[in-house]
Structure 1
């Protein structure tokens, strides 16, 4: 799990002309019916996400007098909750077109948010917070004025330890002990939308409120329990540094908050515990020298991916923010993941002259995200976790992507725990994916987000090698890979998936079109009539798995054919082909740890596997065991030699 990469497996894009001149600012999602709701200033539209035959946009609700401020979908009672600019809170049953007024606030509503258990609806204005019980006909639970000087129930007790005057100040001398403590700069950034926001913890016991404090003249965060009792306020180190977006990690450990320090020169993602204290951070990576700020931040369902949306300074809200301001800036979508206390930039997508208006993760499909651009384009993207292993010339290499770095570990000579590695290949742009290959030589290929394919070999580069790339060896005695050449492909890298090198030609899919590239130009393009989930390389063909588990292959005549007798019962993001004479066997592993051989389930607790010598499946389990399955045995029964890899505790 510590050496995995995110691989883009599925893209769907729809351009809605109805939204081209409208300002999309809020969305809601009915995961049961797969219906996506889009809110403009006065109209709520809906469409079926997974219905490829119906790509129309339907009008679900319209208001003439007052603009729509926010909305959320309550699946328990099958209705939309809608907040209007005059303070009205409505419930709207879409199937029956029934509208009811829940109540009215005396000030403008900034946001409404539903707790993860769908029991509590939170409503915030400039300074007030209202909690309503969903299952008790929206009865009020608590009403709170959050812009106060109170810290909360978790107020720290000072017993005199660690006072400034008792600390050692080094070369600054004793006079430093008498200097006043810096309490942070009072500051509200020009791009701040000045709206109050809410983020719930996944167990629905706590939620956080981010708001502009009129008393402190800066953005602050306060944390409450579900009864509305104030628990904590952010530590003063956050004051004057907070940006307007934030997100509570669904696993409940901490809150991710974007911060700007050093007079706005340094952008970081910091983590706040529920007692208000800071607990770690990492610095954001910029694709270019433009000025960016964090517009959106959100966690996926299992908290393994942190999504960050950056906007350029051209799209920043200046002075007095208005929601109707047009934007000519760009958006950058970044996906981050952590292991061994190191944060990896796994994916980065730059959208020129497009601004991501709203974004949310799918709560059913773990690694699927939905977002909408300001030109009315809806887009959904799905990623799968893969392990990029290269075995050639008696060497086994593991490649890990971290932004502009490809971290390579040679397990033939050393076993180095990540984030350390044997050597690093530095690139001028972020790395999109490592290219799969059936080559037995030492060639290594990877795709960059700027549309470049980099070719590496272990031989030293010539004197006229391409600039902007560098190989840094961390172990001098190891043979490393060096960039030999680069090629530019005539495709939008944001739409490209499944890069594969087969028979010295590059294959990749761009929006359901399979391209064949001979490293000079695209020589053939084949329209696919299925949605490709993943690919695998066989002995004489490339195989494709569709999203419903069907297996296809590309024959010698460059025609797509289906393997009619084989279909996985569930989609398998990782699958392999084993050729034994004239017999083809397909091994697949699902996201929920089920291992299949053709249509038969072998295991339900497998987290990885490896095919050895086309005769044996070596696998690992969630119980930290390694086992073996013979592919030559007609019954495919488990062998008895299962090895327990748990660490000994000495008990």
Structure 2
């Protein structure tokens, strides 16, 4: 639904003195200059400067006669050769070098030439000769083939008959079987005005070309399609009235021709197989005009039809018109009409589309005037600010304006809401920029007349609009002045340049102008003396577009008015700042900027919360999950309009069909406004329609919502809607997950941490009960059911109360309906169970009757329950419902005879803690429960807790066994003294427990029991020596006067410990050295392999580059040790051998570090017994080991960083990321320095005779 808007036109008459008349034109792509050829010369002309760059005479070179009778049949710029090629009717092919100004005849055809057409890639040229042949040549003018144009064969694409039956029995479509007997009609010869010259047109990819030529036998034109190699592919069917115009659409789909029918004049389209495929009718009668040429623009979006009158007027002259057609949704629209009148000097002689700019047209008139038109695609839409604006979009279609009012509904083109018929083709349409009158529009026709339309009125006079408003339209050819039409008043404001665009803002009443070079101006039009000033920012710096834009809009960003512009190359600018480079369309809607991109997305950005830099970042990001500003759209979608004060966004697909979407950002913005204004009903209806989670109504501002629950209920005034809202409630905060708040927008004050469901349900229930509990009965039930812990019993009780006291008012919900509603909300079995849990059998029967249960199933069960004692009855019900805690409570009240059953329930359901609270502490029931609990704890491998429980309830014997089993020797000895045990048994107990402790390597505690309770000092000293507790062993030896044990046991143990530690240090030092050396070798091999790979492969795209990349990865939560065992191995040559070596080195350092306290004690004992050399040797060995490891740390762990806690493996990890992670984790966290080691401390604390 776009129109062609003329951005600027350039007229230059500097060539009016040139001799002859222009015959053909081409565009030089690198300089945008025109290459013109006449009967006398070739001219290179720059239309912008009016300068003749090159002018070479063809008559002086002898290629054209001096009398001007010569003709040129084609011209082509050859960019690679920096030359221009022309062909003469006499048969010469001339090459003119634009750099050296040399003219050369590269070939000649004796029979003459009738046309020349180069392939789009400029690799081949097709020449048609006077002998009706086609010559194919290369760009070096080497002949490829020469074939006759008129051939009897159809071509290689000839249709194949499969031989299924006779022609008379085949299907003939809507014409029926009569088509089989239809005779071929005689084809009429070509029109008298046809120049009989062949027309050649290439397909955009240069693989095929079409030739339209007059058949010698019939005198009618026929189209043939040839391959790049000069092989005939297809021949068109004989068409009566086919004319000379021919042009192949660059996109390759259709060949455009013109055809005269008995009752109309049409542009018809052919496929490459020669069959017709669609057409459209020209707005002229059959014999009124002739089509001289058809020209597609470079992107195949516009078809130019060059029309001339068939008959001359009274003055003997004919009128000429250029029409621009575009297609949408299989309908052809006449978008622009350029009328050149009857003046022969103003009539076009050459017309050519610019190859670089698809919507630039070059026209050279017979009077040597150069005209350049620049168009841009624009959507003409109304831009009102309130609901009175109908969201109109006007589409130009010849002398009609198709207006669609999108507020009332979406009408797919080419249909519309209504049509406006004018007397001449329309070239421009615009809507009134005035509040309350935005539905008024003005149209300018090709003859320069302006018509103003308003709702319910006929068009007004072009010179006296009936409404007092402003129409802002600029002249085509006098663009240096900006004109404002008022009622019977014309003001003209001088502008320092050619105006190519305009934008207007309703809020600020600002008019922005754009000049042809991208500079912007501000029009001060509502003052006594209208003027134009530079567009500047807050600091006074000019803000201009770097390049001209085809669409502009004004908006306010960070309280500054910004001019947005979109170029024809899809670049979106805010002043001189580029916001994005892939924008296909945009529109400013209220406080939002909506943008569609070539990535098939639609962005909706809130201008009030972003800066220009923020807009740039938002448009450059990919958007995250639940990003309300981003929406995927169909490929190629463009914005048509946005309905004011609504959420409807109208998009048009490339084919032309429309789609209405409700962008999430627009919807949420409207909902936030409605909720802030307490328009709950409007917000609720919008959310239901557009499937927005109803939790947003509360989450947007919980405090305000809870304060206005009564307003919410009153506005909705619907039980069903209230119930729907309550049933949709979730604990999730949708403003933090599904619908996050816009950036820089403050949120509401935080609420209490109470459950959201409970808070909302309680608020609704209290409000409804205070308003009308009978009316809102079902909603009150819903508020009970939807709580975090459903209050089904309360809901059922309310239903039961309704049954007991039926409401008297008509239309009020009764018990039956309320129960049915509860059954709708809750599973019937759950409801039955909860009703049973109320212990109200009337309520149970009421629910059971509405369920699908068989009375034979539940009636006996209920009857049996009714016969039981009340507490036991409730116990039976709770046990049936598996509410065991409640069942135990009721069973505890049933008397002594039911205690065994209670004990069994406690054991079965493990309700020991609950049971102990139900019975007195000194009762036999409490003791029995405690013993049962203790047995349970022992079974759970918790004997110490069991012992405490047994000791507490008066079972010291069993408690003693539990403490002994738990090695809790202190508790065990206390209980033994309480029993009390005889001395001999106490000694045996201590000896038994000491053995347990020694087996658990608790030597000091075992020695204490042996010494103090078993009275066996020798065994105690032996245990201490075994555990290397040298100082305590020495103390007991002297305490019990057993110095003999020092000689017999202690000193030999010291020497044995010395030997063991010495051997340990030697082995670990040697192993550390081997691993360190091997690690160096492995790292060198891997570095060499990496360098070799980088030298042989092309950078990061090689298959194995990931092995050496440094990219971080997301790891799984695998344990460090299990990761190592899976992926690393110390075996030489394994893939991750270096990782395993790093871990082994770290383990050795940690192991050596752990023995320092033990080594410290040993060194002191050795010094005490004068083993100085041994102590010195051991200390030196330890220091050497530490120094070696300390020196190796910077070499092994070169980065020196702390160990990483990142998990090792995971689905997103790579080989190198696993290696790096394991290397970090393998690094030792601490290492004692030589000056801080245990041996150093030993030397500081004791004499140093060995130093």
User: Normalising by structure 1, what TM-score?
Assistant: 0.85
Distance apart, 1:62 and its partner CA: 2.2
Q: Say whether residues 1:446 and 2:451 are aligned partners.
A: no
Which residue of 2 is the match for residue 396 of structure 1?
391
User: Counterparts of 2:473 and 2:207 in 1: how far apart (Å)?
Assistant: 49
Which residue of 2 is the match for residue 133 of structure 1?
138
Which residue of 2 is the match for residue 39 of structure 1?
37
User: Counterparts of 1:622 and 1:524 in 2: how far apart (Å)?
Assistant: 42
Q: Say whether residues 1:617 and 2:589 are aligned partners.
A: no
Which residue of 1 is the match for residue 421 of structure 2?
426
Q: Say whether residues 1:158 and 2:161 are aligned partners.
A: yes
Which residue of 2 is the match for residue 304 of structure 1?
301
Worse-superposed segment, 304-313 or 78-87 = 78-87
Distance apart, 1:547 and its partner CA: 2.5
Which residue of 2 is the match for residue 7 of structure 1?
5
Matches within 5 A, 1:512-551: 512-519=479-486, 523-538=490-505, 539-551=508-520
* Higher RCO, 1 vs 2 (CA within 8 Å, ≥6 residues apart): 1
SS in 1 for 2:351: strand
Q: Say whether residues 1:272 and 2:270 are aligned partners.
A: yes
Q: Is the 8 A contact 1:210 1:244 kept in 2?
A: yes
Which residue of 1 is the match for residue 319 of structure 2?
330
Worse-superposed segment, 421-430 or 199-208 = 421-430
Which residue of 2 is the match for residue 30 of structure 1?
28
Worse-superposed segment, 74-83 or 378-387 = 74-83
Distance apart, 1:199 and its partner CA: 0.5
Q: Say whether residues 1:604 and 2:591 are aligned partners.
A: no
- The one-character-per-residue Cα deviations of 1:456-504 (angstroms, maximum 9, x if unpaired) are 2213x4xxxxxxxxxxxxxxxxxxxxx2412149xxxxxxxxxxx9963
Q: Is the 8 A contact 2:187 2:218 kept in 1?
A: no
User: Counterparts of 1:598 and 1:172 in 2: how far apart (Å)?
Assistant: 62
Distance apart, 1:122 and its partner CA: 1.5
Distance apart, 1:558 and its partner CA: 1.9
Q: Is the 8 A contact 1:507 1:514 kept in 2?
A: no
Change (3 A) 1:226 1:484: closer
Which residue of 2 is the match for residue 468 of structure 1?
none
- The one-character-per-residue Cα deviations of 1:256-303 (angstroms, maximum 9, x if unpaired) are 0011121xx4210010111111111111113x8981010111111110
Change (3 A) 1:570 1:97: closer
User: Counterparts of 2:46 and 2:533 in 1: how far apart (Å)?
Assistant: 30
Which residue of 2 is the match for residue 486 of structure 1?
461
Q: Is the 8 A contact 2:592 2:606 kept in 1?
A: yes
Distance apart, 1:601 and its partner CA: 2.1
Q: Is the 8 A contact 1:304 1:338 kept in 2?
A: yes
User: Counterparts of 1:41 and 1:268 in 2: how far apart (Å)?
Assistant: 33
Higher-helix-fraction structure: 2
Matches within 5 A, 1:123-522: 123-126=127-130, 127-134=132-139, 137-160=140-163, 165-166=168-169, 176=178, 179-236=181-238, 238=239, 240-262=240-262, 265-286=263-284, 291-314=288-311, 328-353=317-342, 354-392=346-384, 393-440=388-435, 441=437, 442-459=439-456, 461=457, 483-488=458-463, 504=470, 506-509=472-475, 510-519=477-486
Higher-strand-fraction structure: 1
Matches within 5 A, 1:11-22: 11-16=9-14, 18=16, 22=20
User: Counterparts of 2:121 and 2:147 in 1: how far apart (Å)?
Assistant: 21
Which residue of 2 is the match for residue 62 of structure 1?
58
For residue 75 of structure 1, the aligned residue among 76, 79, 96 is 79
Q: Is the 8 A contact 1:74 1:114 kept in 2?
A: no
SS in 2 for 1:585: strand
Worse-superposed segment, 531-540 or 517-526 = 517-526
SS in 1 for 2:376: strand
User: Counterparts of 1:544 and 1:60 in 2: how far apart (Å)?
Assistant: 42
Worse-superposed segment, 106-115 or 273-282 = 106-115
User: Counterparts of 2:287 and 2:487 in 1: how far apart (Å)?
Assistant: 32
Q: Is the 8 A contact 1:513 1:525 kept in 2?
A: no
Q: Is the 8 A contact 1:451 1:488 kept in 2?
A: no
Aligned length: 592
Q: Is the 8 A contact 2:16 2:367 kept in 1?
A: no
Q: Is the 8 A contact 1:432 1:448 kept in 2?
A: yes
Q: Which structure has the larger Rg over C-alpha atoms?
A: 2
Change (3 A) 1:620 1:502: farther
User: Counterparts of 1:16 and 1:575 in 2: how far apart (Å)?
Assistant: 33
User: Counterparts of 2:51 and 2:463 in 1: how far apart (Å)?
Assistant: 33
Q: Is the 8 A contact 2:480 2:499 kept in 1?
A: no
Distance apart, 1:357 and its partner CA: 1.5
User: Counterparts of 2:311 and 2:14 in 1: how far apart (Å)?
Assistant: 24
- The one-character-per-residue Cα deviations of 1:296-342 (angstroms, maximum 9, x if unpaired) are 111111100001110011369xxxxxxxxx98211111110111111
User: Counterparts of 1:118 and 1:600 in 2: how far apart (Å)?
Assistant: 39
Structure 1 segments unaligned to the other structure (5+ residues): 317-325, 462-482, 490-500
Q: Say whether residues 1:562 and 2:541 are aligned partners.
A: no
Q: Say whether residues 1:99 and 2:66 are aligned partners.
A: no
User: Counterparts of 1:153 and 1:216 in 2: how far apart (Å)?
Assistant: 23
Distance apart, 1:527 and its partner CA: 4.1
Change (3 A) 1:14 1:546: same
Worse-superposed segment, 265-274 or 521-530 = 521-530
User: Counterparts of 2:373 and 2:489 in 1: how far apart (Å)?
Assistant: 25
Change (3 A) 1:208 1:522: farther
Change (3 A) 1:76 1:618: same
Change (3 A) 1:369 1:177: closer
- The one-character-per-residue Cα deviations of 1:536-590 (angstroms, maximum 9, x if unpaired) are 1133332111222211122233222221421222322111112469722111112
What do you get for the CA RMSD once the two structures are aligned? 2.8
Q: Is the 8 A contact 1:505 1:516 kept in 2?
A: no
Change (3 A) 1:117 1:532: same
Q: Is the 8 A contact 1:42 1:68 kept in 2?
A: no
Q: Is the 8 A contact 1:397 1:408 kept in 2?
A: yes
Distance apart, 1:507 and its partner CA: 4.2
Q: Is the 8 A contact 1:235 1:276 kept in 2?
A: yes
User: Counterparts of 1:170 and 1:402 in 2: how far apart (Å)?
Assistant: 32
User: Counterparts of 2:573 and 2:353 in 1: how far apart (Å)?
Assistant: 28
Distance apart, 1:398 and its partner CA: 1.1
Q: Is the 8 A contact 2:442 2:471 kept in 1?
A: no
